[in-house]
Amino acid sequence: MANFAIMGFGTVGSGVAEVLRMNGASIGEKLGEPLNLKYILDVRDLSATPYGGIAVKDFSVLENDPELDVVVESIGGAKVALDFTRRALMAGKHVVTSNKELVATHGRELLDIAREKNVNYLFEASVGGGIPVLRPLFQCLAGNQIEEIVGILNGTTNYILTRMVKAGVPFAEALKEAQEKGYAEQNPAADVDGLDAGRKICILSDLAWGREVLPDRISVRGISGLDLLDVDIASRAGYRVKLLGRALKLADGTQAAYVAPHLVHESCPVAGVDDVFNAIMIRGNAVGDVMFYGRGAGDLPTASAVMGDVMDALQHRSRRRKLGWSESASLAGPDALVMRWYMRGGSASPEGCQALSDGAVITGPLSVGEAGRLAEKLGAAALLPVFQ
Amino acid sequence: MANFAIMGFGTVGSGVAEVLRMNGASIGEKLGEPLNLKYILDVRDLSATPYGGIAVKDFSVLENDPELDVVVESIGGAKVALDFTRRALMAGKHVVTSNKELVATHGRELLDIAREKNVNYLFEASVGGGIPVLRPLFQCLAGNQIEEIVGILNGTTNYILTRMVKAGVPFAEALKEAQEKGYAEQNPAADVDGLDAGRKICILSDLAWGREVLPDRISVRGISGLDLLDVDIASRAGYRVKLLGRALKLADGTQAAYVAPHLVHESCPVAGVDDVFNAIMIRGNAVGDVMFYGRGAGDLPTASAVMGDVMDALQHRSRRRKLGWSESASLAGPDALVMRWYMRGGSASPEGCQALSDGAVITGPLSVGEAGRLAEKLGAAALLPVFQ
């Protein structure tokens, strides 16, 4: 029998318990041994739930149980979660998490501890919710050199943008709808300001190139300043506005990573990904473009990914998965990355531009720095990068 | 140092050698040891190629080399490939393949030998070319009960259908174009008659539910009989015609699997998958729908998947991956699976149908048996299932 514990009994934690209840028999069959949920650690009183009998409030119970194999960390944040994850790994437990903030900011240290202790620290659920993407990236595509990763990494903002594009609803109203439907938190800053997508693109970048990219080192722009007029102009020209996280390796060997709303041409598969769905496209030098699509959040989809990792950790109990990244990546300066740009409201139209309606244009290829300087010089009211 | 051999130096085999040439340094770094291509087995004379020095014609050289860890089988077919795979596994070598015919028809036996010998038999490249799909299915989604798998599994037929739908080119002409572009073989039967897609849906079904479904036990219908008129009528009603392989678990515990051209509503993500691209959608009871998309064939994409498996086998040298399926699945009868149907040219329109142009209709839910009997009774000229 294999024993695991859940730390933090919120949306994800309770989803993991529910997946075990739904699928415990087939999970045990695949593992070749029953999987037993031994403890749930939470500060709240769970005695009125079916899990009252296994609820604990003291982390040291988990830490000191030699029969506990795996700990699921679904506390969130990077304080208590960091402390408990460190201690669980030090105590020789495998740890599985969906906590993108913790992985993005402290993943390197935690993977180092895991290596020393010969245990697994796995986090498939931290990017793309239930969509398999990290394991395909580091395992199935291991024979490739990864060239670029681009994705719709946040379901909340994709829902809001879909409403803006398809129904002409302004940002503030679309956000309110998303909150009413339970897709957005009451404090939606981490989603709408792009921080959540930023953490996820950092994790993808860490795994793809083996060098740490911390979220506070990359440029992150959300959708709260987005004008419905620009969404309209783009639509009429055959583009959808999508919040994309993007990470790439440049010709000079440096890396770039950022989050921003982009114009995406409707012929690109990413453009058709609507509502709360996520999609991640990975370009490898042998495989070309592959794309992974599905629900990027929600209790059961996220729990599906956590459970896959719990099973993987148990199947690699004696021999841990080789996983980790080294110190800071060399990031490109603002003049290295070149794209086309959507610009509106400038005092003049620069040469070689494609004219759209309402005085908006799409420029030729310009670096991030060049585009910014040009928009400032011309007094442009809107500047957005164009993807493909 | 890890040693591997390639058996069969055609499209896939030479692609694997090329991926090693391109990415050998990063592959060795990820493995923690250099990966060495020790032999290429082929009946042809390779002395004029850069691989002349490692070319061999006698399989027993591979079989008897105790330092050879992994064998890539890219011979194709189920005769010589079967014999050599059996013998390689018996000799304690890990075997990696892209050979869908062999896996679909003899996978169970070969996986049994692999288990006895404690080696890996891996075949990610057999479905979806370079797209990671089998490993995500049996590993990342292991916490789910799989409910349904549906996919565009053959790039040649998808190219032909895209030309028919988008440019109004008749089947015979589109096939000729595909042959000229190198997408279709001179003898295109295995592709256009649906046999290739049939083998792939069987492999997906074997892995999803752990019970063997042999290709000759399922209904397979290709696209050679497809009338451009039906493609047109469907397009005007908002549907695309796609050749889908489909496998599902029914409420009574039986399974169904088949290949047929379907009408797919344009709001379904699968409908937008065009040209030689493949897409596989998997529905799990926790994760919901996830989709995998990319190039389903070609030398380097397929070699990418083969190389990922070679690396995985080497990382699981001592402890093999638990993989396999047992004897024959219980397949549903023709009255168990219920869908809506596109029907054209019947003498009367059955009740409850949605009328399309040219006398075509979409029926309400009918079982496979019912739809066939109805079409016969009314003398319908075309009958196609509708997906979603």
3-state secondary structure A183-196: CCCCCCHHHHCCHH
Contacts of A286 in chain B (CB under 8 A): 15, 19, 22-23, 130, 300-301, 303-304, 307
Predicted-assembly ipTM surpassing the 0.90 threshold? yes
Q: Which of B132, B304, B311 sits opposite A286 (nearest CB)?
A: B304
Alpha-carbon span A211 to A207, nearest angstrom: 8
Pair type for strands A277-284 and A288-295 = antiparallel
Binned at pLDDT 50, 70 and 90, residue B151 comes out as very high
| Summary mean pLDDT of chain B | 94
What is the distance between the terminal CA atoms of chain A, rounded to a whole angstrom? 51
Q: Which of A124, A287, A300 sits opposite B130 (nearest CB)?
A: A287
Q: Which helix or strand (DSSP H or E) is residue A40 part of?
A: strand A35-41
**How big is chain B by its Cα radius of gyration, in Å?**
22
**Biggest distance spanned by C-alpha atoms of chain B:** 71
| pLDDT reading at B319 higher than 80 | no
Residue B149 has phi, psi (to 5 degrees) of: -130, 130
Q: What is the DSSP string of B85-96?
A: HHHHHHTT-EEE
Pair type for strands A338-344 and A361-362 = antiparallel
Please give the pLDDT value at position A298.
87
Please give the pLDDT value at position B74.
96
| pLDDT reading at B334 higher than 80 | no
**Shortest Cα distance from A273 to chain B (angstroms)?**
8
Alpha-carbon span B59 to B9, nearest angstrom: 14
Write the burial class of residue B378 (CB in 10 Å: 0-12 exposed, 13-18 middle, 19+ buried). middle
Distances (CA, A) of B151 to A131, B220, B291: 17, 14, 9
What residue of A is the nearest CA neighbor of B133? A136
Is the CB of residue A190 less than 8 Å from the CB of residue A91? no
pLDDT in tens, A57-102: 999 999 999 999 999 999 999 999 999 999 999 999 999 999 999 9
Optimal mutation site among A285, A290, A291, A292, interface B, most CBs of chain B within 10 A = A290
| pLDDT reading at A138 higher than 80 | yes
| pLDDT reading at A38 higher than 80 | yes
pLDDT in tens, B160-177: 999 999 999 999 999 999
Contacts of A139 (CB under 8 A, 6+ apart): B132, B135, B308, B311, B312
Contacts of B387 (CB under 8 A, 6+ apart): B150, B242, B244, B246, B262, B263, B264, B265, B268, B270, B339
Contacts of A141 in chain B (CB under 8 A): 132, 304, 308
Is the CB of residue A123 less than 8 Å from the CB of residue A309? yes
Please give the pLDDT value at position B271.
92
| pLDDT reading at B228 higher than 90 | yes
Which tokens in the block code for residue B250? 């029914």
Residue B175's nearest CA partner among B232, B223, B240, B233 is B223
Tokens 């009211």 correspond to what residue? A381
Please give the pLDDT value at position A155.
93
Alpha-carbon span A122 to B251, nearest angstrom: 34
User: Do residue B136 and residue A140 have CB atoms under 8 angstroms apart?
Assistant: yes
| pLDDT reading at A321 higher than 80 | no
Strand, helix or coil for residue A369: helix
Binned at pLDDT 50, 70 and 90, residue A335 comes out as confident
- Of residues A307 and B296, which shows the higher confidence score? A307
Please give the pLDDT value at position B145.
97
Q: Which of A132, A143, A306 sits opposite B141 (nearest CB)?
A: A132
Please give the pLDDT value at position B163.
94
Is the CB of residue A244 less than 8 Å from the CB of residue A161? no
- Distance, CA of A128 to chain centre: 5
Binned at pLDDT 50, 70 and 90, residue A186 comes out as confident
List residues of A with catalytic annotation.
200
Amino acid in position A283: R
Q: Which helix or strand (DSSP H or E) is residue B220 part of?
A: strand B219-220
Alpha-carbon span A84 to B115, nearest angstrom: 39
pLDDT in tens, A207-231: 999 999 999 999 999 999 999 999 9
Please give the pLDDT value at position A351.
79
pLDDT in tens, B278-298: 999 999 999 999 999 999 888
pLDDT in tens, B234-261: 999 999 999 999 999 998 889 999 999 9
Residue A110's nearest CA partner among A128, A122, A127, A98 is A122
**How big is chain A by its Cα radius of gyration, in Å?**
22
Contacts of A23 in chain B (CB under 8 A): 143-145, 285-286
pTM of the model: 0.95
Tokens 């990546």 correspond to what residue? A329
Distances (CA, A) of B118 to A319, B66, B113, B317: 16, 15, 8, 9
Q: What is the mean pLDDT of residues B216-227?
A: 94
Strand, helix or coil for residue B277: strand
Residue B341 has phi, psi (to 5 degrees) of: -135, 145
Please give the pLDDT value at position A347.
81
CA torsion angle for B91, B93, B98, B102 (degrees, to 10)? 20
User: Do residue B303 and residue A284 have CB atoms under 8 angstroms apart?
Assistant: no
| pLDDT reading at B80 higher than 90 | yes
Partners of A96 in the β-ladder: A72, A122
Alpha-carbon span A373 to A354, nearest angstrom: 19
The H helix count followed by the E strand count for chain B is 12, 17
Contacts of A4 in chain B (CB under 8 A): none
What residue of A is the nearest CA neighbor of B28? A143
Optimal mutation site among A149, A249, A275, A304, interface B, most CBs of chain B within 10 A = A304
Please give the pLDDT value at position A320.
74
User: What angle, 0 to 180 degrees and rounded to 10, lies between the N-to-C axes of helices B80-90 and B100-117?
Assistant: 20
Partners of B383 in the β-ladder: B343
Alpha-carbon span A293 to A279, nearest angstrom: 4
| pLDDT reading at B23 higher than 80 | yes
Residue of B38, B93, B100, B200 marked catalytic: B200
**Shortest Cα distance from A68 to chain B (angstroms)?**
19
**Kindly report the CA angle at A197 between A196 and A203, in degrees rounded to 5?**
95
Is the CB of residue A86 less than 8 Å from the CB of residue A61? no
Please give the pLDDT value at position A161.
95
Q: Which helix or strand (DSSP H or E) is residue A2 part of?
A: strand A2-7
Q: What is the DSSP string of B296-345?
A: --SHHHHHHHHHHHHHHHHHTSSS------BS---BPPTTT-EEEEEEES
Binned at pLDDT 50, 70 and 90, residue B320 comes out as confident
Q: What is the mean pLDDT of residues A282-311?
A: 95
Alpha-carbon span A142 to B199, nearest angstrom: 26
Residue A382's nearest CA partner among A335, A346, A352 is A346
Distances (CA, A) of B320 to B97, B118, B356, B369: 16, 6, 54, 44
Q: How many residues does chain A have?
A: 388
Percentage of chain B modeled with pLDDT above 70: 100
